[in-house]
A and B are shown apart, each in its own frame.
Chain A
Amino acid sequence: MRNKLFSLMAVLMVAVCAVAQTSLKGRVIDESSQEPVVGAKVTLANQNISTTTNAAGEFTLLYLEATDEEVIIEAEGYMAGLELINLKENQLNQMDAIRLQQNIVTQAQDEILLNLTEEEMSDDEGRSQQQASSSSASTDVFNANTSFAWSTARYRNRGYQSYAESYYIEGLNFTSQERGQFNYSAMGGLNDASRYKEVLNPLEATNFSFGGLGQSTNYLMGASRYAQGWKVGAAGTNRNYKARINATYASGVLPNGWAFIGQLAYRFSPYVDNKGIIGEGIKYYSLGYFFSAEKIWDNARLKLITFGAPTERGQNAAVTQEVYDLTGSNNYNPYWGYQNGKVRNSRIVKSYDPSLIAAYEHKFNEKHWLKVAAGYHYSMYSNSALTFYNAPDPRPDYYRNLPSFLWDGQIANPNNENSAGQLFDDNGNHYPWGLFIGEDMKGTNLGSGFIGADGNLVGPSVDQTQYDALVQLWQSRDNKTTQIDWDNIYAANLANNYTDPNGSARYMLERRHNDLQELMASVNYVNTAFDHLKMTVGAELKYSQGIHYKTIDDLLGGNQWIDIDAFADRDIKELATNSGFTQEDISNVRKNEIADDYNNVIKADGRHFGYDYRINMQKANIWFQNEWTFNEVDLYYAIAFNYSSMQRTTNMLNGRAWYLTKVAEERTGADAWKYYGHTAYNQIKALEAAGKLKAGSTYVGDIHTFLDPAFKLGANYKINGRNHLKLNALAETRAPFARDAYISQRVHDRVVDNIYTHDKAKSLVDFYAASERVVSADLTYEFNYPIVRGRVTGFFTQSWNGTELNGYYDDEARTFVNQAMTGIDKRYMGIEAALAVKMGTYFTLTGVTSIGDYRYTSDATAIQSAENGMPMTQNLATQELVFETMDKVLLKGLKLSTGPQLNASLKLSFFHPKMWFADVTVSYHDWNYLSVAPSRRMQGLYTGRRLDGTSVNGWFGDSYANAIQTTDNTPLDVTFDADGNPTYNNAVLDENGVPVLKYPYNIMTMQESLAATNPLNRFLIDASVGKLIYLPNRQSVSINLSVTNLTNNTHFKTGGYQQARLPRAVRQGEKDYRNSVITANAWKYPSKYYYAWGANFFLTVTYKF
């Protein structure tokens, strides 16, 4: 009784206090369903005070100035609302229910965006399109108008790679520790699961994590957010899948405090047997589910969430300009072919990310609350790939299968590169570097061929008829020429069953599994006990395990697969010689499991082969943040400490690791342990000595641990209620991702050298030898008037000491090479601006732009090593074989290939109170650059000598190529200092100090702009129209049609990469260890490009009842 009395008195006192000062109370509801809108942001424009609505859609603002005020209400998936109110002094001002209207356009766009990013997930080869930044936020005029509109162009916020962004679900970190990406396929098609989210701009204070360099997104999936009722929908599109159906039921908050929601979404497309259209040769099946239950008590709530989307879908690939020209389509897909007359794609992704989350929030009182969450996530991701052994390469677009291979010169008029004689495509795009269909290749026309430096002719290799015949086959999309020849592949295997029944199938479809399981927890405590101060303390724990192995998907008629490494098998003679062993002695080298009891025979029975390793990663993070709010200024700072570790374990004892260890032992023995790690090395040596090596054993590599601090701060100066000036800054170190840390993680445990330096560090400098260091700052001016609102932001970010890993076939070493680059510095600077102007009752005109300059600011140091253990070169002076070469990669000044750096768009939106929506957006994108192959920018290629002093066989300045421009037209004169750094005595240097190459050699190293030659083709136009129809009994139907790339611009390159290989020919008559020369055929390994889809639509119909 005393307690009740006390409570009553407390309530009365609060009420009295509230009444005694100026305050505002209100409720936000959905216009259609009348259900409360949870999490809506309510802002008083003049006083710049804001809050969010609770589970009942209610909000309260205290300590206000009595004045006329504009109340702005913004919520995800709704049109922003604006209400005017005259706040009476010392009163509790009560507003009528504020009704928000759903914005079906942004809802549909969010869904399209989610699907787009899901499809761009990189494969295990790490080769994929740049992911578009996908998080949108309706409260920020810049983000709201760029995330969808610029996604087609693969725009990335501030040019950051995807790892700069953080993704959370209910406060749990869902960004992969291994790759630094968020797996969108986990939520494929689940538009309701991903509907509610907090999105925070880079560097700003966050309330669910420390945040980071890029945007931070926290998906909120509590069931109480969803209005009661059914929602069923259907969608049709001409994208990779063709249709989607979905159904959602939400209970709303029941009287007992429970709320439930469940969604099923099914997206599908059978194989598309139609060449030249979007999604050709692709199938798509995905069933998504999302269930969430939430229990609400007075001071607490518990959320239980699960979701996943088993998906099976075909993939497509980047192609060269030649293929694009020949097929005349940006939709050509080389991954598929006909099998007995039916379409089959060789690259099928299977993904399924079951996730389970439990989140608990407890509000001790108005000034203390706690959030705790735990989750488990298992990401099953695999893709199939056609592989072959001792058989012809089956890829239709393999360079030897293209017409260009028959034309060594591939130049129309090379001696006059600026002449009018050059070719143009049907769009007027100019090809300044290489043509495929040009001059008559019969001898009489050889005069137009390229005259090499030695006066000899580089010309055709076949006659015109042969060339034309192949061109015609490509242009007509001949099945056997332009697609995978499944029938022939089967024939090869079936024939092999007769001639070599116990041998390896010649072809098979393997499945590369890259699973990831994550166990995570977070705790977040907020204290507002002190005036003006909000203190947040958080901690995150995360254990991740990357699981990588291969299985056989389909033997394609073959009897079995013999699991050996093709490169090691090919070079075993040389490998044996190099190590001083016989082939028999090192027969293990080609095995992927040297203790294999099955003699490496693999059937399609799910057994792992090729490689089978795990990367164990742990992460612990504590952070705290203080935010002060005053009338004129808000201040904050935050500090975090990140502990992380990585460790590789393998279930297969790889023959190349075994071989490299042997070689190392033969030499000094000092580094032999690196290929296994200390413990595993001793274990393996002991077992080997005892003859007890056993297949399937697990070998545990070394643990590498990192401790990285981060600090950020910011200030928001309120010039007045409508004009703000914000300054934010961040400094942090960042441990390398596991994907970049291991030089050849499929084979052995060896990490990049600076991690070893870090591991045995005795100084602070050494301790951070492997970590990337980042500083960043931005300055924003933001304004918000009834008619006009917008912002302008300038930002600057510099990072140092980044690490990247590449793999490629090296024609000088004649084998597959892993390249570990360290010491990479990058700079990102630019301006973002957005302006939205209300034009009368119905129209809003919005202009946004982002102008950036994202580039490398240093060269990198790279270590190259052959994956099969081959020596990279030989020291001609000592005759010693060199297994790892070190060289400088000349990256300085090159642009980062993270999407267009110049973007601008103008959007006209229409909204009619009778719930008609429409908008049209015109976007311009420029300054987009090709990803340069580091292997083509090695210092040794310009000097003939690597940083480590070894010689390069076949380089730009040698007497064969003579490709370096010199000031006196004499051969290159270069000298070296003691560290191996060159001084060019007579070379013409570019602004970054790199020697300028003569035409056409310059084509091999230059960074190409991806912007269309014709400026008109740099524009993209999108449009959408929608209608929301209210029906009786709180029912509604919404229809939305969104058309992207309305003008069907098929010349828009979204990204691409330079192939790593350089054209080389064997130099005869020499007895060097390697004998090659870089030829003038600069087009032999052309760049590959991704193109934007042409016109595509997305039509959705949703019925709520």
Chain B
Amino acid sequence: MKTSKYLSYIVLSTFVLALVSCEPDPLKSEDVFITEAQVAEITADGKVYDLNEFLDTFMTEEGTYHNDTTPYRERSYDATHGLYLYSVDTLPQAGPGIYIRGRICTDDYAGNFYKAMVIQQIVNGEQQTLRISVDLGSSGGMYHMGQEILVRCNGLAVGRYANQPQLCVPSYNNNIYAMNASQKVGWCPGRINSSEFRRATRMIGTPDPDKLQYDELTLAELYAQVPQKPTTDAAGMDKVRKADGRLVRIKGVHFTGEFDNNGTLAKCDTLHPDSSSNANVFAPTTSNIGYPQSRLISDGSKSIMCSSSEYAKFAYYYLPGADRHGVTECANWEGTVTGILGWYLDKASDLASNKLDGYEWSVTPRGIPGIGIEDVKMYYQGDTDRPWKPEEFNPNDYQ
């Protein structure tokens, strides 16, 4: 009987003790964001490069793969200048650490940047920027706008995609289903695998979008700083590289009601954005192909493309000053467009002919989660009491 009693006690107490099953303690900010002291500690094995310095050091014009016997991107090569518009330079895996740091100034989820981010670094009061191509859907959900990151670049690559510098990995484009596929097949910058990127990246402090710097300027001022035509000279290329990715506020502009190549947008009561790329909204459908849609903004003398994705939250919003009735009022709305400045030169023929085809410079409005296109601030003929209010395309307007 005594034995039974003792056994019962033992069994019961074991139950109670072993019932305690718990998960690890919740994490706090200090557990996941690193401090400047930790940055110093982590980067002690190498060097933290400024973004421009990083490109100057590691990106060549030809890239690691330019002499490869593989098919190269036919349309990318300019024989006259011996230049590839697409290039990839691999960075050494071993050796001293190669680090860069910058603050993310884009948001990819429905925010106009698909599987890419741009980081900004302020050096001597000026912006330096770099695009990073990452195979992370909705990367903005993990790497928020305003988040400063530290990236160990060893084993990654840097290259040009349509002449646009970016941190990447070597990728072989084999999309045989693409239009003009044979011209596109070949090596180019590709997206960094998600786990590789997560392993390479640390988040410095908590995100602070207010620390992002904007360059506020007119179109005239912008074009004074950057080439207005394809260029191959070192100075011109340097300007292109330094301008690409900058966060800008272009003031004193209006939407012209034209799309790329100066075509005129149609009224939304005659063309439906689901079926026509010429409908009068930011980004009508591309039938899920996904290339950006461009809308021209102008200061009256010069113009630039305002580029948006059909996946942007504001894709089906009427352009400022426009509605289903047409585009004639566009010029009455003037203001500021905020976005990322982009350079895109993907055809060697453009380079050879020394002629812009209307696609090179663009500004990609940032989509802010929950805010949408608020960064486009326009007013009716300067009347600040009548700000532009985003209005969504109404299918009932379509006749």
Q: Which residues does A use to contact B, with CB under 8 Å?
A: 230, 232, 245, 247, 249, 264, 266, 268, 270, 283, 285, 287, 312, 339-344, 388-393, 396, 400-401, 405-406, 408, 441-444, 446, 452, 454, 456-463, 465-466, 469-470, 473, 478, 480-481, 485-488, 490-492, 494-496, 498-500, 503, 506, 554, 556-557, 570, 573-574, 576-577, 579-584, 814, 960, 1065-1075, 1077, 1079, 1105
Say whether A342 contacts B370, CB under 8 Å: no
Known contacts A339-B23, A441-B172; can you find 12 more A-B pairs with CB under 8 A?
A232-B11, A264-B15, A270-B21, A340-B24, A344-B24, A459-B172, A461-B172, A481-B199, A490-B27, A498-B207, A1068-B289, A1075-B289
Which residues of the other chain, A, contact B32 by a CB distance below 8 angstroms? 487-488, 490-491, 494
Say whether B141 contacts A443, CB under 8 Å: no
Closest to A494 in B: B29
Which residues of the other chain, B, contact A396 by a CB distance below 8 angstroms? 195
- Listed from nearest, the 5 A-B pairs whose CB atoms lie closest are A443-B70, A391-B141, A456-B176, A342-B24, A491-B32
Closest to A481 in B: B195
Which residues of the other chain, B, contact A266 by a CB distance below 8 angstroms? 11, 14-15, 18
Say whether A285 contacts B18, CB under 8 Å: yes
Closest to A485 in B: B198
Closest to A553 in B: B23
Q: Which of B29, B177, B194, B272 contacts A960 (CB 8 A)?
A: B177
Closest to A403 in B: B193
Q: Which of B93, B174, B177, B273 contacts A1077 (CB 8 A)?
A: B177
> With an 8 A cutoff between CB atoms, is B102 at the interface?
no
Which residues of the other chain, A, contact B195 by a CB distance below 8 angstroms? 396, 401, 470, 473, 478, 480-481
Q: How far is B144's CA from A465's CA once the two chains are assembled, in angstroms?
A: 30
Which residues of the other chain, B, contact A1069 by a CB distance below 8 angstroms? 179
Q: How far is B173's CA from A458's CA once the two chains are assembled, in angstroms?
A: 10
Say whether A268 contacts B18, CB under 8 Å: yes
Say whether A488 contacts B18, CB under 8 Å: no
> With an 8 A cutoff between CB atoms, is B68 at the interface?
yes
Which residues of the other chain, A, contact B395 by a CB distance below 8 angstroms? 576-577, 579-582
Say whether B185 contacts A245, CB under 8 Å: no
Query: Within the complex, what minimum Cβ distance (angstroms) separates A388 from chain B?
Result: 7
Q: How far is B169's CA from A459's CA once the two chains are assembled, in angstroms?
A: 16
Which residues of the other chain, B, contact A312 by a CB distance below 8 angstroms? 21
Q: Which stretch (B1-9, B74-82, B252-260, B338-346) binds chain A?
A: B1-9
Q: How far is B19's CA from A268's CA once the two chains are assembled, in angstroms?
A: 8
Say whether A470 contacts B196, CB under 8 Å: yes
Say whether A1105 contacts B171, CB under 8 Å: no
Q: How far is B141's CA from A881's CA once the two chains are assembled, in angstroms?
A: 33
Q: How far is B396's CA from A661's CA once the two chains are assembled, in angstroms?
A: 19
Say whether A1075 contacts B174, CB under 8 Å: no
Q: Which of B136, B170, B369, B394 contacts A500 (CB 8 A)?
A: B369
Q: Is the contact region of chain B dominated by helix, strand, or loop, or is it mixed?
A: loop
Say whether A469 contacts B155, CB under 8 Å: yes
Given A283-B21, A285-B21, A400-B135, are A499 and B181 neighbors across the interface (CB < 8 Å)?
no
Which residues of the other chain, B, contact A1065 by a CB distance below 8 angstroms? 175, 177
Q: Mind listing 22 A-B residue pairs with CB under 8 Å? A: A230-B7, A270-B21, A287-B19, A390-B369, A391-B138, A392-B142, A457-B185, A459-B172, A459-B174, A460-B174, A465-B170, A469-B93, A480-B198, A490-B32, A498-B207, A499-B145, A577-B395, A960-B177, A1066-B288, A1068-B289, A1071-B287, A1074-B287
Which residues of the other chain, A, contact B21 by a CB distance below 8 angstroms? 268, 270, 283, 285, 312
Given A396-B195, A465-B90, A499-B146, are A557 and B26 neighbors across the interface (CB < 8 Å)?
yes
Which residues of the other chain, A, contact B51 by a CB distance below 8 angstroms? none
Q: How far is B308's CA from A573's CA once the two chains are assembled, in angstroms?
A: 15
> With an 8 A cutoff between CB atoms, is B56 at the interface?
no
Say whether B171 contacts A487, CB under 8 Å: no
Bits for B357-399, please: 1 = Cβ < 8 Å to A, else 0.
0000000000001100000000000000000000011111000
> With an 8 A cutoff between CB atoms, is B137 at the interface?
yes
Say whether B169 contacts A466, CB under 8 Å: yes
> With an 8 A cutoff between CB atoms, is B214 at the interface?
no
Say whether A582 contacts B136, CB under 8 Å: no
Closest to A580 in B: B395
Say whether B396 contacts A247, CB under 8 Å: no
> With an 8 A cutoff between CB atoms, is B307 at the interface?
no
Say whether A406 contacts B193, CB under 8 Å: yes
Q: How far is B24's CA from A463's CA once the two chains are assembled, in angstroms?
A: 39
Query: Within the complex, what minimum Cβ distance (angstroms) separates A71 from chain B?
Result: 37
Query: Within the complex, what minimum Cβ distance (angstroms) separates A453 from chain B?
Result: 10
Given A389-B141, A390-B138, A457-B185, are A230 and B174 neighbors across the interface (CB < 8 Å)?
no
> With an 8 A cutoff between CB atoms, is B203 at the interface?
yes
Query: Within the complex, what minimum Cβ distance (angstroms) separates A859 from chain B?
Result: 31
Which residues of the other chain, B, contact A400 by a CB distance below 8 angstroms? 135, 137, 194
Q: Is the contact region of chain A dominated by helix, strand, or loop, or is it mixed?
A: mixed
Q: Which of A444, A481, A1079 contacts B69 (CB 8 A)?
A: A444
Which residues of the other chain, A, contact B174 by a CB distance below 8 angstroms? 408, 456-461
Query: Within the complex, what minimum Cβ distance (angstroms) separates A246 from chain B?
Result: 8
Which residues of the other chain, A, contact B110 by a CB distance below 8 angstroms? 390, 570
Closest to A232 in B: B7
Say whether B144 contacts A495, CB under 8 Å: yes
Which residues of the other chain, B, contact A581 by a CB distance below 8 angstroms? 395-396
Q: How far is B142's CA from A25's CA once the two chains are assembled, in angstroms?
A: 78
Which residues of the other chain, B, contact A232 by a CB distance below 8 angstroms? 7, 11
> With an 8 A cutoff between CB atoms, is B315 at the interface?
yes
Q: How far is B288's CA from A719's CA once the two chains are assembled, in angstroms?
A: 74
Q: How far is B24's CA from A344's CA once the two chains are assembled, in angstroms?
A: 7
Q: How far is B396's CA from A580's CA once the two chains are assembled, in angstroms?
A: 6
> With an 8 A cutoff between CB atoms, is B245 at the interface?
no
> With an 8 A cutoff between CB atoms, is B54 at the interface?
no
Which residues of the other chain, A, contact B65 by a CB distance below 8 angstroms? 463
Query: Within the complex, what minimum Cβ distance (angstroms) separates B157 from chain A?
Result: 8
Say whether B137 contacts A393, CB under 8 Å: yes
Which residues of the other chain, B, contact A488 by a CB distance below 8 angstroms? 32, 142, 198
Given A457-B174, A463-B170, A495-B206, are A583 and B392 neighbors across the interface (CB < 8 Å)?
yes
Which residues 181-195 in B have Cβ within 8 Å of A in the complex?
181-182, 185, 187, 190, 193-195
Say whether A1067 contacts B147, CB under 8 Å: no
Query: Within the complex, what minimum Cβ distance (angstroms) separates A1046 from chain B?
Result: 30
Which residues of the other chain, A, contact B127 by a CB distance below 8 angstroms? none
Query: Within the complex, what minimum Cβ distance (angstroms) separates B350 from chain A?
Result: 20
Q: How far is B146's CA from A1016's CA once the two chains are assembled, in angstroms?
A: 58
Given A392-B139, A490-B31, A577-B274, are A582 and B176 neighbors across the interface (CB < 8 Å)?
no
Q: How far is B27's CA from A289's CA once the two chains are assembled, in angstroms?
A: 36
Q: How far is B396's CA from A579's CA once the two chains are assembled, in angstroms?
A: 10
Q: How far is B198's CA from A400's CA once the two chains are assembled, in angstroms?
A: 14
Q: How far is B395's CA from A576's CA once the two chains are assembled, in angstroms?
A: 8
Closest to A267 in B: B18
Q: How far is B199's CA from A547's CA once the two chains are assembled, in angstroms?
A: 42
Given A458-B176, A459-B172, are A340 and B369 neighbors across the interface (CB < 8 Å)?
no
> With an 8 A cutoff between CB atoms, is B209 at the interface?
yes
Q: Which of B24, B70, B142, B393 contacts A391 (CB 8 A)?
A: B142
Which residues of the other chain, A, contact B187 by a CB distance below 8 angstroms? 443
Closest to A1072 in B: B287
Which residues of the other chain, B, contact A406 by a CB distance below 8 angstroms? 193
Query: Within the complex, what minimum Cβ distance (angstroms) separates B183 from chain A?
Result: 12
> With an 8 A cutoff between CB atoms, is B86 at the interface?
no
> With an 8 A cutoff between CB atoms, is B40 at the interface?
no
Closest to B273 in A: A577
Which residues of the other chain, A, contact B287 by a CB distance below 8 angstroms? 1066, 1070-1075
- Residue of A488, A573, A1075, A1077 with most chain B CB atoms under a 10 A cut-off: A573
Q: How far is B187's CA from A965's CA once the two chains are assembled, in angstroms?
A: 34
Closest to B30 in A: A494
> With an 8 A cutoff between CB atoms, is B113 at the interface?
no
Say whether A486 contacts B27, CB under 8 Å: yes
Query: Within the complex, what minimum Cβ distance (angstroms) separates A345 from chain B?
Result: 9
Q: How far is B135's CA from A405's CA once the two chains are assembled, in angstroms?
A: 11
Say whether A462 contacts B68, CB under 8 Å: no
Say whether A247 contacts B7, CB under 8 Å: yes
> With an 8 A cutoff between CB atoms, is B71 at the interface?
yes
